[in-house]
């Protein structure tokens, strides 16, 4: 896993150079948004169950997917789906704190689409649920922090598409 600091310093070290102006500017933005990201992570962890409940209600419930024949039926699969959303939320929060998507690539997305395809887990409803989490989370943490974490929800969706 990388974060903004390692992702800038490691390549500079390989070149044997100091960070360039543009790279220092990226670091400055990282430090400047630090307080915001930490606060958002705290709000998300205190409200994780509510975020998921609301996102599921806004996206997946009340459709065929939870009925016999749907991928969220029966309860075992419903629970697996909720568990997956819980993982997406937690890892998106880590990525926001690191301001770097590599933890998602390494620990969440590697092989996930293949797993979903082989189990018949439908991608479009999964993406809808992740987008619903993004909306609910943004309402909780505000637009600015919502933008910070939103890009990592989008990163997961892109990795599944």
Ligand X SMILES: CCC1=C(C)/C(=C/C2=NC(=C\c3[nH]c(/C=C4\NC(=O)[C@H](C)[C@H]4CC)c(C)c3CCC(=O)O)/C(CCC(=O)O)=C2C)NC1=O
By residue count, the chain amounts to: 161
CA angle 132, 145, 80 (to 5 degrees): 35
Quick check: 125 binds ligand X (CB under 6 A)? yes
Q: 38-77 mask for ligand X (x: CB under 6 A)?
A: ---------------------------x-----xx----x
Between residues 2 and 122, which has the closer beta carbon with respect to ligand X?
122
Is residue 157 a known part of a binding site?
Answer: no
Q: How far, in whole angstroms, is CA 72 from its chain's centroid?
A: 21
CB distance 78 to 84 below 8 Å: no
One residue of 2, 6, 19, 84 binding ligand X per CB under 6 A: 84
CB of 153 to ligand X, least distance (A): 13
Terminal alpha carbon distance of the chain: 22
Taking the C-alpha atoms of residue 108 and residue 99, their distance in angstroms, rounded to an integer, is 16
CB of 69 to ligand X, least distance (A): 11
CB of 64 to ligand X, least distance (A): 10
Is residue 15 a known part of a binding site?
Answer: no
Token pair belonging to 38: 């930490």
User: In sequence order, which ranges of 16-122 are alpha helices (DSSP H)?
Assistant: 21-32, 34-59, 75-98, 102-104, 112-119
One residue of 108, 136, 141, 160 binding ligand X per CB under 6 A: 108
Taking the C-alpha atoms of residue 122 and residue 50, their distance in angstroms, rounded to an integer, is 23
Is residue 71 a known part of a binding site?
Answer: yes
Quick check: 81 binds ligand X (CB under 6 A)? yes
Contact residues for ligand X, defined by CB under 6 A: 65, 71-72, 77, 80-81, 84-85, 87, 107-108, 112, 115, 119, 121-122, 125-126, 129
Pick out the residues of the known binding site for (2R,3E)-phycocyanobilin.
71, 76, 81
């Amino acid at each position: 896993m990388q974060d903004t600091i390692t992702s800038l310093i490691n390549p500079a070290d390989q070149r044997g150079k100091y960070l360039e102006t543009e790279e220092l500017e990226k670091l400055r933005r990282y430090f400047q948004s630090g307080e915001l990201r930490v606060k958002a992570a705290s709000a998300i962890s205190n409200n994780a169950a509510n975020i998921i409940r609301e996102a599921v209600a806004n996206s997946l419930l009340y459709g065929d997917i939870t009925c016999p024949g749907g991928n969220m039926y029966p309860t075992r699969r419903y629970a697996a789906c909720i568990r997956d959303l819980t993982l997406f939320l937690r890892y998106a929060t880590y990525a926001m704190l690191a301001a770097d998507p590599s933890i998602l690539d390494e620990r969440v997305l590697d092989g996930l689409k293949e797993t979903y395809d082989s189990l018949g887990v439908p991608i479009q409803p999964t993406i809808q649920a992740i987008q619903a989490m993004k909306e609910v989370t943004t309402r909780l943490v505000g637009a600015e922090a919502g933008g910070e974490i939103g890009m990592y929800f989008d990163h997961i969706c892109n990795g599944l598409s």
